[in-house]
Structure 1
Amino acid sequence: MLKQFRSTLKYKLSVLLIVAILIPLLTFGFVLYLMASDISEDKTKDAGMNGMKQISTNIEFITQDIENTVIFLIGQDEIQSYLTTSNPSVSQQAEVISLLIDLAMPKSYIFDISIIPNRSDSETLSLNPMIDANYPPLPNRNQFNPIPFQEYKGWTQVHNMQTASYGNKNVVTYMHPVRSIGQFDSIGMITVSIPESELSSILLDNNISNVENVLLLNEQQQILSAKNRDWLNRTLTSVYPNIPPALTQQSGFTERGEGLTRETVMYFTIPQLNWKLISLVPYDQYMSENRYVLFLTIAAASGALLCISALIIFFVQWVTKPLQKVTQHLREAEPDIPIPTYPRKSVDEVGLFIHSYNSLSDRIAILKEQVKMKEAWKKQLDLRALQAQINPHFLYNTLSSIKWKALLEKQDDIASMVGSLSNLLRFSLNKGMEFCEVQQEVEHAKHYTKIQASRVPGQFEIQFVIEEQILDRQMLKLVLQPLIENAIQHGFKEKKDPRYDYRLCTIELDQHMTFTIEDNGVGIESANLVELKRIIQLPMDQYQLEFGHYGLRNVHQRLMLHYGPEAGLQVSSTINNGTKVTFTIPIIEGETP
């Protein structure tokens, strides 16, 4: 039962209409979802980039303030005096410590300030009593000329500083060499340390929503601060092996991973420091923000689909009911019994179909007779065309022998004429084929004109103008020669000028070939031309051989039977100016029709 229903028009129309509506609905929902995803992703990226700019501003403020503090300390007399005096007094040390406390007290982000003299008789002064600074190896910016510790200027990586007051503390230190103001000699080093926890709090206190992995990298791509303390001082590629290495721009976005597990990598370079902020946003974050829109889209599309499906089923049932009745009548019809009619209830397309169905029986009978008649006349015309040619096999073999004897007797004109006749007959046989190439048909016409020229030498001349690109096209066989024969036979009548010219030309345009045979003969009077057109257009059952013009009519009927009504002959003529016969046939690609 289900299989039978699936084979009905009702089922096919219902499925087709539902699918035709479902596809746009799903497409609209999918496009809406993609648009929401893009908008959400853009908003998240903008928020993330704004957050990183704020982080950059905060970090840049702290680092710039520390660098300015160091410059300020270098110019203080207390610092210069302590670093240049041998065995400085306790009061000098107290003045330096007091200065350091005054500077660091209002700045919670300063963990330690140390004054490191180059002199061996002076000790290092620190804001916090230092047990071990554990300064890390300095970046080797020039492997051939390493910078000594006393001359290094810049920020270090994270290192563990041990103090008496606070114990062990992960810090990032800014180091700046100190030179004497008068002599500009290296006299020591000033270091200012920031707790790594201070940088971490800045990274976590930002407006990048739902972003956990925010990293701060130095120039060497080492991690200065991160939520995961185990990542400190590790390189970015060691933490994320498959992260794109080329983050050469000041800021931007790139992708890490594929599919649903991919992440958006946002990066921003802190000016002057050349540090980078890196944050990773998982793709699932974008998805979660679009689920509500996706749910509403699915709900709306499902409700609309249910309503539309019910309407479609009702509509299809209303439209196909008459068609089902007609199908039932056709299924139960017998060949010898007229097809029963069905009442026509509308004037639309279905009503017109019912009207056509009611007259189907008569039309089928008429069409059967027409098809039978056309097939019979087509065979009869082709048979007459073949019968009109002299094609016994033994005849052109005999002609071939005559040609060779004429050549032996040096009768070249006779040999040429007999050779043309033999080729003419050989082409007429051609294994019974109805179609040939244009080149073969033209050669056949040339053989015929050569024979005629031998019969009446010097009385006419024919010119063949054939486009090369159509020579290998296929066309109906034995149509040009009868037309040329008709022109030669009728053109000589009452022609005073013994000179007579013919022209066969072709043209290819819009996938059609047009053939034209024209002459400068006596022409045809208007009344005779009208009668000629009427005769060649007569149906086969009304034509009689006594009417004449069998060659033109035969060609005309064969062209229409094989190519359609548009391919028939077009005849035009002017008294004393000649006659022109034209026909146009389509170009058929591929095999012979």
Structure 2
Amino acid sequence: MKTKRFSFLNKLFNRMFLLMSICIFVPVALLGYLSYEKSRNQLESVTSQLLEDNLRLNAYQLNNFFKSVEKESEKMIASKELQNLLRVEPPKTYEQQLGFINGMVDVIIQLKGSYELYVIPRSIDQYPNYRKLLTLNKLGPESDVFDRAYKLQRKGIWVHVWDENSQKPIFIYVRAILANNLEPLGILAIQIPDYIFLREMKSPSSFENYTFLMADHENNIISHTSSGRYNEKYVPRTDRFETEIELEEGGWKLIAAVPQKDISGTIEQIKKFTVWIVVGGLFLIAILLTLIVRSVTLPIHKMVIHMNKVRQGELTPFRFSQTSEDEVGQLAQGYNQMISGMTELLKTTKQMEADKRQLELQTLNHQINPHFFYNTLDAIKWRAEFAHENKIATMVMKLANLLRFSLNNGEEWTTVEREIEHANNYLDIELLKSNRTFQVFIQVDPDILKLKVIKLILQPIVENAVKHGVNEVPEGKGKIRLTAKRSERDIVFIIEDNGPGMRHEHALETKGLPEGEPHHGIGLSNVHKRLQLHFSSDYGVQVDTKATQGFRVIIRHPTSTDTI
């Protein structure tokens, strides 16, 4: 069931399997087809070459057979007994004819080899009794073969005739018997049955239906394994593979034929074998391809299912083989790192929200009705002026401005100019309320005075410089410097004093920020957290830990083009 779901739902598997199948199946099928075609062509070529070689060998055998018969005939016609017998005048009496016959029989018996031998005197009609004994009645004295043999003199003629008695063709070698002065004495005829010719030919054992036949110059069949086809017209057939070669005698040609089915049967076997090999190979490739593609797509498919769970809020790591070092493994590792990052980000966000709520609660807990503060401070200022205590009146006025800026109806944004003015008011109050004096230096880039910043980011730092810096040096020696400038896309505030510097127990691990008790609910750490809550971890409060003397704090705030 899982496999069925996988095969239908995993579109990546289907696409990869289809593309890889096309890339593999088509070349394999084409390779199988080309292999079959190559084998078929090579088999036909080898068969053709085999037939031609066999036919050439058999033609060589037949030509040698013809030559051996000619050599045997040369020995016969060179016989002195035969020539002396043919030089004698034709017999006139019966006794002379009988003597001629007995002499000729003795000579023939003496000369006869493996085949039937006939000797026909020049004037056969003058040997009536001898003529009756001749069975070579296929070629009579009136045959033009004898005249042609006499004209050729020292070369014989091969002829073929049909033997009614044996119902088979017979081959006859006819040659003139000449005296030393080339006077024609008679004809020598050697009669050979066609099975002798067929016996001389050897057929390949790999072809059961291999057939030999001989045809004359007019394409008439003169020798065939089936005697009934004698003298038929030879017509090439398309259902047989045929080849032929010219013989040296008689203008005859030797033809070899094998049925196409004998060759196509082997080709059909090759075809079936090739088909089975290709189909089996493709089936095996399909199985291996499925396993290979699944090994790649199944982890991705599982990862997609896990992503859907993550989308629903289930932030659990994706389980995969830790030993996998390929791209899929790296993808899974990166995916798990992303989930871990999301988990950490959610934790951080929750913590930051909790801190933000805590800061808001702290701010609310310390808020007092501003009208009550302002009315009370105005009363103190009026009484101080009435008592001619101008210093007290000034302190009260600055404190009122300080509180008014801090509360400001809950508004969180201000300008660089107002933020610096607020910090300066605090420093004036510190100078007025204590007996200790210190110097304050303020240097501000005029171009950033109207830029927006979140409020109450300088006063806690300045307060820290007074409390832990200039109060720790001799009277009149304390110095505080406030610098505000622009650095690329950020606003940078630098507050530094010439106090004893940061102590080891006040150091924090993150950005060198000193950890201390918040002043009126707003401390250094609160300023740092507020900046990071509003913007990112790239902004906040940073302590210059490299400073050998004094205390130097850098506040980085992003630049906004808006003004108030």
Q: TM-score range by the shorter chain?
A: 0.3 to 0.5
Normalised by the length of structure 2, the TM-score is 0.46
